[in-house]
Structure 1
Amino acid sequence: MVAQLNYMQMREVFSRFQASEPAPKGELHFTNAYTLLVAVALSAQATDVGVNRATKALFEIADTPQKMLDLGEDRVIEHIKTIGLYRNKAKNVMRLSQILVDDYGGLVPSSRAALSSLPGVGRKTANVVLNIWWGFPAQAVDTHIFRIGNRSGICPGKDVVAVERAIEDNVPAEYQQHAHHWLILHGRYICVARKPKCQACHIADLCLYEDKTQ
């Protein structure tokens, strides 16, 4: 694991991210807090493009927990069967929808603990919903962020929780809101897993990765 960038280096990294993409957004399509929650839960081990393709028609007819329950598990499966692990995900969507109706009046809760307790919703999914829908500076660490955090020295950590804490502790406050979006997009399109595009990277001079590509 590489060392942590210092404060001034971190400030420079995120000022460059901000300059290149002032208002980054997630790539999943949604219309409200519930469809965002479902979309993020479905995106585990699947691409955002694939989830958007599968949920387009689904969300047109089932954009609330009760409508999803009324639709039924079999019809949900028909909509999402192109997504990996679709049967288990359909079960989770139905179970979390039932809990939202029974325990939360059909509303999506705005606490990490409550969200994380829902079937198929882990800490990462909860943080995405908290960040995107409610504007909390929650940090959702996925495989991209874990990889580049440790590769670059931006937010090193032995596991996703440690990386999350490294972001919270070391990214300057004014960049916290969009930090995970910038990092995800950077990992998805520039600092890719097998051969990072170091020549196209606007933070390459600050990055601590020793095996930069030519």
Structure 2
Amino acid sequence: MWAKGRRGCRASTQQGTMGKGRGQSYATALSLLLVLVLSSSAFFTPNTFLPVLCVFNFILVLHGLLLKGNIGVIGRVFMVQLIVTMGLYYLLHGQSQLIEGLIVVLRILLAFIPGWWLSVSTAPEKIGQVLTWVLPVKWAFVIGASIGLLPYMTREIREIYQVQCIRGAKITPKALRDPRNWQELMTCVVFPLLIQLLKLSRQMAIAAQLRFYGKKSKPTHWQE
């Protein structure tokens, strides 16, 4: 009787764990749908409805901060887009269309915030698990791994940028006001970052291959 009761308790525990896992998967699916809608709306919403979209994104930012997300990433993306976009608008159109340039910067930022929130609030393995519902396993793995790499990319960009500034590269915010220094930014920061990502992607591919990932149509997923 004791063994039977123990088996029954174990079965109920497993059912509870499976039910919790399904609930988390559904929540992840809703998060992905929300991110898709908000990011797409950032480019297709008329200017009159942009304030409403800003409110939704502000709520996402607050939630991300509660989860201890790094808001500095949003600030850096905003500054880079502001410098590059406004510089191009000024060179191409002068001062007459700077307001339109600011709206473009705002739209890019509104498209970026939902993805940032998703990377903060949802584990990459959960995203990969949900994506297997509609995508092949290997594609889902690549997308989930790419989202998981966002914090790593942020650290790499910061470290490469700091090292190049110490070496005397003309990539400081003041130096980048001159468009002639943008090529140095590509050479000193963007190209080394791409090399690091290529090396990391190769390592991840080897690790997945050694674990026979993709051999089965329905792979298992890590449960917290």
Instruction: Flag the structure with higher helix content.
Output: 2
Q: TM-score, normalised by structure 1?
A: 0.25
Q: When the two structures are superposed, what TM-score results if normalisation uses the length of structure 2?
A: 0.24
Structure of higher CA gyration radius: 2
Structure with greater contact order relative to length (CA < 8 Å, sep ≥ 6) = 1
